[in-house]
Amino acid sequence: DADVTQTPRNRITKTGKRIMLECSQTKGHDRMYWYRQDPGLGLQLIYYSFDVKDINKGEISDGYSVSRQAQAKFSLSLESAIPNQTALYFCATSDSLWDSGELFFGEGSRLTVL
């Protein structure tokens, strides 16, 4: 089983619908992140959380919200989806801000908004 699990893996929805992407991890890491990836662009940080009580906006948080339900769970919501939110979304975890601070990614959730 993957250490960082995302559901759903693929989702097609319509404009205006509410969508939730879920992420759970078994690595025991405190730090969790949500990124989106678009063709030709670098990964863009949406939100991040350094512990259950800590939520921070990333560079492209508009139109998104998150919930850190437990150390192991971090959900991303699109309250009213729009077509330019069509992208590949990755959840990631890390155990350290220092040193290598290696990120461990989930397998991705491909979202299409029609």
Amino acid at position 12, single letter: I
Q: Where are the beta strands (DSSP E) in the chain?
A: 4-7, 10-13, 19-25, 31-37, 44-51, 54-57, 65-70, 73-78, 87-94, 104-105, 109-113
Q: Which is nearer to another protein, 40 or 70 (CB)?
A: 40
Q: Which is nearer to another protein, 14 or 51 (CB)?
A: 51
Q: Does 51 bind another protein (CB under 8 A)?
A: no
Q: Per CB under 8 A, which region of 18-26, 60-68, 79-87, 104-112 contacts another protein?
A: 104-112
Q: Exposed, middle or buried, 59 (CB in 10 Å: 0-12/13-18/19+)?
A: exposed
Q: Does 84 bind another protein (CB under 8 A)?
A: no
Q: Does 105 bind another protein (CB under 8 A)?
A: yes
Residues binding another protein (CB under 8 A): 40-45, 90, 97, 99-108
